[in-house]
């Protein structure tokens, strides 16, 4: 009961609400995460003193391999919210990166995809995680070479990933951790058909995490189509 009480007071203080069954208590500090030492070292080197609220609540859920819809504003630390459990998933699964990525992150723009890639490289380096970033407006050659070298994580905009899939230059059959980042923006930009085509190439047995700043009916619809019994986490007021 004591831990339940502290979970509730942490959630109240940080405006965390959720829906779903058996939602684990938030990780109120890095010490309680149980993250591997090399990841804790990177977090420490970055100068972070505590998890952000979205990290605190979504990490224990993601580590249980459950689907998540997280609704939180920009700047709330969502990227590491899904990347660190993705690193831990990679350690558990140990696929051959030459056969395709295990973690796939879809992002609306080249700029955002590049930022996610930078974060993945910085925090995944000591875990020896390989990553490729695929986006339009740049030649395909170097991106194809990155894929061929072997990748644990692919961060991609839906348009470019779809082009590369149609060329049959990437396989998504090993993907078991799928992230839709800024889902509302991807839908606003008209990427829904590409997202649905991509997800058809990803095995149904997977963990799916969706991050969005807003929760309109189009986003609710794609969440109900692509996620299985997700826990919904909200930080602050939701519009």
Positions touching Mg ion (CB under 5 A) are 78
Number of residues in contact with ligand ADP under rule CB under 6 A:
11
CA 232-119-231 angle, to 5 degrees, is: 10
| Residue 107 contacts which entry, ligand ADP, Mg ion, none (Cβ below 5-8 A, type-dependent) | none
Q: How far is the CB of 136 from Mg ion (least distance, A)?
A: 19
Q: How far is the CB of 10 from ligand ADP (least distance, A)?
A: 14
Judge residue 143's burial from the number of C-beta atoms within 10 Å of its C-beta, 0-12 exposed, 13-18 middle, 19 or more buried: buried
Residue 236 lies near ligand ADP (rule: CB under 6 A): no
Q: Which of residues 67-96 bind ligand ADP (CB under 6 A)?
A: 74-80
Q: How far is the CB of 40 from Mg ion (least distance, A)?
A: 22
Residues 6+ apart with CB under 8 A from 120: 83, 129, 131, 153, 155
Q: How far is the CB of 57 from ligand ADP (least distance, A)?
A: 13
Residue 215 lies near ligand ADP (rule: CB under 6 A): no
- Residue 208: its H or E element: strand 207-212
d(CA 3, CA 20): 18
Residue 183 lies near ligand ADP (rule: CB under 6 A): no
Structure tokens belonging to residue 44: 């420490």
Residues 6+ apart with CB under 8 A from 14: 26, 53, 56, 235
Q: Which of residues 22-51 bind ligand ADP (CB under 6 A)?
A: 48, 51
Residues that bind ligand ADP in the complex, under the rule CB under 6 A: 48, 51-52, 55, 74-80
């Amino acid at each position: 009961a004591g831990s339940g009480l502290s979970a509730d007071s942490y959630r109240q203080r940080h405006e965390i609400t959720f829906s779903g069954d058996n939602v684990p208590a938030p990780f109120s500090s890095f010490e309680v995460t149980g993250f591997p030492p090399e990841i804790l070292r990177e977090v420490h080197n970055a100068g972070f003193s505590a998890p952000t609220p979205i990290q605190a609540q979504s990490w224990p859920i993601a580590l249980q391999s459950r689907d998540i819809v997280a609704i939180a504003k920009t700047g709330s630390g969502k990227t590491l919210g899904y990347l660190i459990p993705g690193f831990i998933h990679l350690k558990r699964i140990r696929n051959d990166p030459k056969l395709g990525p295990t973690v796939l992150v879809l992002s609306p723009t080249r700029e955002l995809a590049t930022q996610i890639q930078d974060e993945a490289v910085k925090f995944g380096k000591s875990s020896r995680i390989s990553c490729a970033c695929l986006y339009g407006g740049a030649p395909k050659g170097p991106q194809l070479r990155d894929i061929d070298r072997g990748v644990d994580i692919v961060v991609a905009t839906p348009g470019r990933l779809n082009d590369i899939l149609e060329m049959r230059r990437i396989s998504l059959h090993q993907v078991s951790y799928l992230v839709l980042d800024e889902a509302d923006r991807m839908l606003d930009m008209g990427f829904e058909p590409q997202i649905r085509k991509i997800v058809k190439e990803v095995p149904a047995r997977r963990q799916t995490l969706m991050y969005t700043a807003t929760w309109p009916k189009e986003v609710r619809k794609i969440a109900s189509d692509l996620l299985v019994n997700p826990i919904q986490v909200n930080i602050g007021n939701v519009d």
